[in-house]
Amino acid sequence: MSTGTPLVVVGDRFTDFHAQPGVIAASALLEDLRGGRGTQTLRVTVGQGLTAAQLDELDHFARSSGTLEIDGGQVPHPVERSVTHKAHDKNVLIGPVDDHGGGHYRAPLVLDDRVEVLEDHLTGLHIPAVTLLEAARQMWTAVTEQHLIDPGPRTRFVIDHVRSSFHSFVFPLPAHLEYTLARLEHGAVGQVAAFTVEVHQCGRLAARFEAQIRVVPELFADKQERMAARQALRDTTAGRPAPAAAGALGE
């Protein structure tokens, strides 16, 4: 191991990426650190794919060993799971959200390679688009709840639209998400937020999501969904769709 160019540590499942020069799998690096190293300082860039436990252990070595230096100063950590509306820690894809003012927010991409959207779909060297879309969803969920709406009655997030564009591969290297609020409106049945979320890596735009969501009080959203479900069930069993003029169910 060299003290010059930082070694890039990535998740164990990015096996194709491990063959790149200067890349090491998380478990291999931690095994090396556990075994004790000499006095030579090792510089490490933390890439994507490490589990929360691996990030914690790396952080521990960086703070206690004196011979491990993290590029960028500190080990990234995922945000608390509830912020992203996920049920399992491994599915969190972002770190804490920073408010940059003027409707601009930023968070690191912090990807565990066991995440559900990679579990059965990991091809080649890059992070698949669907993973980035889920990261964007977590970003807008976190920004909306932490910065845009008041705590109060439980709400549901309803997506009006998402337009995605993908500009370059995202590899298991440091990356971040940028949220920019375009519009926030308050109405009779909740709020409407329009925004963009961009994924950046190596100083380049990698993916862009332009979206509009509704934040609807759970009471209204639940009633709307139940009425729509009954309508769909009736239409299915009756073998015909509801006449458009009588529907009044579309947004």
Partner 1 sequence: MLETNNDLLATVIRNVTDLLEEADGEHPEITGAEALNAIGLNSLLLARLIIQLEMELGVDPFAEGDLVISDVRTVGELADAYADALGGSVAA
Site for partner 1 contains 224 (CB under 8 A): yes
Site for partner 1 contains 130 (CB under 8 A): no
* DSSP H stretches of helix in 35-161: 52-64, 116-119, 129-143
Tokens 């998402």 sit on residue: 162
Per CB under 8 A, the segment of 28-36, 109-117, 135-143, 224-232 that binds partner 1 is 224-232
Site for partner 1 contains 159 (CB under 8 A): no
Q: Enumerate residues 167-206 that contact partner 1 by CB under 8 A.
A: 187-190
Site for partner 1 contains 73 (CB under 8 A): no
CB of 234 to partner 1, least distance (A): 5
Q: How far apart are CA 173 and CA 202, in angstroms?
A: 9
Site for partner 1 contains 1 (CB under 8 A): no
Q: How far apart are CA 110 and CA 102, in angstroms?
A: 24
Site for partner 1 contains 245 (CB under 8 A): yes
Q: How far apart are CA 86 and CA 117, in angstroms?
A: 12
Site for partner 1 contains 53 (CB under 8 A): no
CB of 1 to partner 1, least distance (A): 58
Q: Concatenated DSSP letters for 10-57? A: E-TT-HHHHTSTTEEEHHHHHHHHHT---SS-EEEEE-SB--HHHHHH
In terms of CB distance, is 150 or 251 closer to partner 1? 251
Name the residues that contact partner 1, by CB under 8 A.
187-190, 214, 216, 219-221, 223-224, 226-228, 230-231, 234, 242-243, 245-251
